[in-house]
Amino acid sequence: MKKIITYGSFDLFHEGHYRILERAKALGDYLIVGVTTEYYDRQRGKLNLVDPIMTRIQNVKDTGFADEIIVEDHVGQKIEDVQKYGIDTFVLGSDWTGKFDYLKQYCNVVYLERTPNISSTIIREDRVKLIKLGIVGTGRIARRFFAELKYVSGIEAIAAYNPDTESLKRFKKDFPILAYSNDYVKFLDKVDAVYVASPNETHAAYVRQAIMAGKHVICEKPMTFTYDEAVELYALAKEHQVVLMEGIRAAYLPGFQQLLSVARNGTIGEICDVEACFTRLGDPKSREMADAKYGGAFMEYGSYTMLPIFKLFGTEYVQFSIDSILGKDGIDKFTKVQFRYKDGLATSKTGAGVKSEGQLVISGTKGYILAKSPWWLIKEFDVRFEDPNKVEHYDAPFVGSDGFRYEIAEFLGKVNGTGGNDYKLTSQESIAMAKVVEKFMGLRRTQQGW
């Protein structure tokens, strides 16, 4: 019996999929079709899938060509499958020509001509309205965000806003955006959604105005400096029926989701302590190192360090305390926040101009999780136990260098209503962070005497 194998996501099943399965089947007697999991697709940077895996499997099954359907969930699985199932011929479409030649040592490799003018991407783009995004602020982060935007289909940056015309001009030179403006009202008129990446102290006002104009918003952290304002902005977004999301990138990375699941599934027992640290020796002239009022360690990195704490212990702590030491220009160069929960302790440590081991350690009654620096861009982590020789290692890669595309895909999913429930970073968690930021700002005012 001649066995054939082929793979795909088979999202929004279309004629191209049907034809490749038909032709693959005709090459032999028994066809195995591998359908990707959502987790695997996210890891390899294929974002925005619409159909859940059961629908995609059912659609493959309904063609009647597949004798067996398997799930593809990790890199390297194809080599394993080819050997495991005794495959004679491996088939993929011509868009993959050459990419799987390494399998030729195990079986025939055939690339079949791709059906022209159809793909899941095209259908996805036709189904949903292209979201026109405006970028507020044109500094370093906006540039990195913009560079990642092209990897998420269905959203396009069409306008940039900055009251500082010089910065706008520099941005304009590097990025082919259609419209530029230093008039926020006119800018808002052009777009469906905004990404706010302006200086910290301007976030809330831009967010409020955008929501009131009916625009969806994704805002860099920290979104606000006060609890009340955070509550108000989320309520306002609800009232205007728009999405409001705080852009804490780590929350949306596949590896971070996996780490949370492992922490919660009993592997390390009951969680007793979470310690998250983020430090950087940045450019002394940069905003985070030089802006004594709104920069500094906690403002820049505190949202990251609070994230695993609130995700794992929740937002109902019994009490918390916060303390900072200041650098010579008045910024907090190191800030420590300690949370007491009924059955747990947690520490957030942030440093700007101070270097420490930037790790995330989650301690439990059976073992602990160690995610090394940079855990906020998590690609791997360990579970360790009393016996130092027993280490469970998890690889959880993502595509790209800084993870923005995952945050953007999440935002788009929410805007289009295809993203499912809001669980990766809830408004409650974001509001709880604003409460800590507020206390930090109080401390800062006292320490700096303003």
**Which residues neighbour 58 within 8 Å (Cβ) at sequence distance 6 or greater?**
none
| Beta carbon nearer to ligand CTP, 80 or 126 | 126
Interface residue with ligand CTP, options 3, 10, 134, 367 (CB under 6 A): 10
Can you read off the two tokens belonging to residue 182?
């230093």
CA distance 290 to 444: 14
**17 near ligand CTP, rule: CB under 6 A:** yes
Q: Which residue has its beta carbon closest to ligand CTP?
A: 93
Q: In this chain, which stretch among 3-11, 72-80, 249-257, 360-368 interacts with ligand CTP, using CB under 6 A?
A: 3-11
Residue 42, interface with ligand CTP (CB under 6 A)? no
Q: Does 118 bind ligand CTP (CB under 6 A)?
A: yes
Q: Is 396 helix (H, G, I), strand (E, B) or coil?
A: coil
d(CA 328, CA 324) in angstroms, rounded, equals 13
Judged by CB under 6 A, the residue of 59, 89, 119, 258 near ligand CTP is 119
3-state helix, strand, coil in the chain (%, to 5): 40, 25, 35
Residue 440 C-beta: closest distance to ligand CTP, Å: 43
For ligand CTP, the closer of residues 104 and 140 by Cβ is 104
Binding residue (CB under 6 A) for ligand CTP from 3, 4, 5, 9: 9
Q: How far is CA 119 from CA 9, 115, 126, 127, 435, in A?
A: 11, 9, 11, 12, 46
Q: How far is the CB of 216 from ligand CTP (least distance, A)?
A: 24
Determine, following the binding rule CB under 6 A, whether residue 92 of this chain makes contact with ligand CTP.
Answer: yes
C-alpha 382/C-alpha 373 separation (Å) is 12
The answer for residues whose C-beta is within 8 angstroms of residue 99's C-beta and 6 or more apart is: 92
Please count the other Cβ atoms lying within 10 Å of the Cβ belonging to residue 187.
22
Q: Among the candidate windows 88-96, 133-141, 224-232, 415-423, which touches ligand CTP by CB under 6 A?
A: 88-96
Q: Check residue 149 for interaction with ligand CTP (CB under 6 A).
A: no
**Residue whose CB is less far from ligand CTP, 152 or 197:** 152
Using the rule CB under 6 A, which residue among 22, 69, 79, 114 binds ligand CTP?
A: 114
What angle, rounded to 10 degrees, do the helices at 227-239 and 427-448 form? 150
Task: Summarize as ranges the residues that interact with ligand CTP (CB under 6 A).
Answer: 8-11, 16-17, 20, 92-93, 95-96, 114-115, 118-121
